[in-house]
Homo-oligomer: A and B are copies of this chain.
Amino acid sequence: MTCAQILPEVRNRPEQQEEEMIKAGIIGATGYAGAELVRLLTGHKEVEIKWYGSRSYVDQKYASVYQNLFQIVDDACMDDNMEELAGQVDVIFTATPQGFCASMLNDTVLAKAKIVDLSADFRIKQVPVYEKWYGIEHKSPQYIEEAVYGLCEINREDVKRARLVANPGCYTTCSILTAYPLIKEGMIDPDSLIIDAKSGTSGAGRGARVPNLYCEVNENIKAYGVAGHRHTPEIEEQLGYAAGREILVNFTPHLVPMNRGILVTEYAKLLPVKRADGQESLPTYEEIRAVYDRYYAKEKFVRVLEKGVCPETKWVEGSNYVDINFVIDERTGRIIMMGALDNLVKGAAGQAVQNMNLMFGLPESEGLDLVPMFP
């Protein structure tokens, strides 16, 4: 069943309009991020999914792998032949392991279809940095320069013009958006930035590995990738652009016993502001708030919460929102910034759809009017 059968307004369109719909293909459709793309695009009235690429499940009904989509998606899984796919669709989403997209991309593909890559392959501008942190050789570095880092709220205009969008990581989207305005405006010292991140377990993927078993994750919390997680250079690069220089941060992810959600708690030293009387003092709540509002008040998907309200991941579950807030600690001269998003939506598939909307000149929130589910 196509999404036409789902949405009445699509169902009732004359047939020729269906041919005007954007055709999408997903490689890696059977990972959790891929499945979330299917959920979102199935409800997107301008898009039709033509290809559910999954090497592991070729020829099996997609809905037998994701039974929530039974009677919603009728297709069988196809393979991951990117060149063949590019000839049949307008946009390809690659929700694949690191290295796949880079190894498959070539001029033919890029000439025929726009690419939204959910892996890290094109996020980092310096090839040596990518190769060092990801431990693999980059197979198509010639596309890195044109690739646009798909953090919509920051790079909106570049995304609109892009053929190839590097969809940001889940942790990184949350971490960057939470601190970006204050770093850009020089309110905090970027070298003091510490990001303590907590993620639900869908971020670990659907691979059958003992550490991801229910009994290993449940009733448990732990840090991992301490001082060495691959999202670190991505955060440092993006916030470095904001700071106007190279920075180093500490980023520590933790695995939380829940399905979805990322919460970041970020610590930084506030930089003193020179006052009219020549004195220096730390920024006030209102001044910090004004900076956040300047950047985000008009952003539909970024909600800066009311004073004193700490973000909770459940408040954005299933939606494309990012909730942000902060507390100033006058005793220590630090600011604690907090951000929450759904790692599969704004942290992956939702942002990918948001980027696709920009690339195709659609309203940016098309298909993303998702009200967070509670409880």
- Write the residues of chain A forming the contact surface with B, with a CB cutoff of 8 angstroms: 6-9, 32, 35, 39, 42-43, 66-72, 194, 196, 198, 200-202, 204, 206, 208-210, 212-224, 226-228, 248-250, 252, 254, 256-261, 263, 265, 267, 303, 305, 309-319, 323, 327-329, 331-332, 334, 336, 338, 340, 363, 365-366, 369, 371-375
Bound Cα distance from A336 to B251, whole angstroms: 10
Q: Are the C-beta atoms of B201 and A208 separated by less than 8 Å?
A: no
Bound Cα distance from A365 to B6, whole angstroms: 9
Chain B residues closer than 8 Å to A303, beta-carbon distance: 70-71
Chain B residues closer than 8 Å to A42, beta-carbon distance: 371
- A309, chain B: closest CB distance, angstroms: 7
Bound Cα distance from A212 to B375, whole angstroms: 13
Looking at A208, A214, A217, A319, the one whose CB has the most chain B CB atoms below 10 A away is: A214
Chain B residues closer than 8 Å to A334, beta-carbon distance: 194, 250
The answer, among B222, B250, B338, B363, for a CB contact under 8 Å with A8, is B363
Chain B residues closer than 8 Å to A35, beta-carbon distance: 374
Q: Are the C-beta atoms of B371 and A222 separated by less than 8 Å?
A: no
Total identical chains: 4
Chain B residues closer than 8 Å to A336, beta-carbon distance: 223, 226-227, 250, 252
Sorted from nearest, which 10 A-B pairs have the closest CB atoms?
A220-B314, A227-B329, A68-B372, A215-B375, A222-B312, A196-B196, A214-B217, A68-B374, A226-B327, A68-B315
Chain B residues closer than 8 Å to A210, beta-carbon distance: 206, 208
The answer, among B202, B310, B318, B365, for a CB contact under 8 Å with A222, is B310
Bound Cα distance from A220 to B198, whole angstroms: 11
Given contacts A43-B369, A371-B43, A375-B215, contact A256 B221 (CB under 8 A): yes
- A65, chain B: closest CB distance, angstroms: 10
Bound Cα distance from A222 to B72, whole angstroms: 21
Q: Are the C-beta atoms of B214 and A374 separated by less than 8 Å?
A: no
Chain B residues closer than 8 Å to A201, beta-carbon distance: 214-215, 218
- A121, chain B: closest CB distance, angstroms: 23
- A13, chain B: closest CB distance, angstroms: 13
- A25, chain B: closest CB distance, angstroms: 19
Q: Are the C-beta atoms of A250 and B267 separated by less than 8 Å?
A: yes
Q: Are the C-beta atoms of A375 and B317 separated by less than 8 Å?
A: no
Bound Cα distance from A200 to B369, whole angstroms: 26
Chain B residues closer than 8 Å to A315, beta-carbon distance: 67-68, 70
Chain B: which residue is nearest A340 at the CB level?
A: B222
- A57, chain B: closest CB distance, angstroms: 11
Chain B residues closer than 8 Å to A208, beta-carbon distance: 208-210, 213
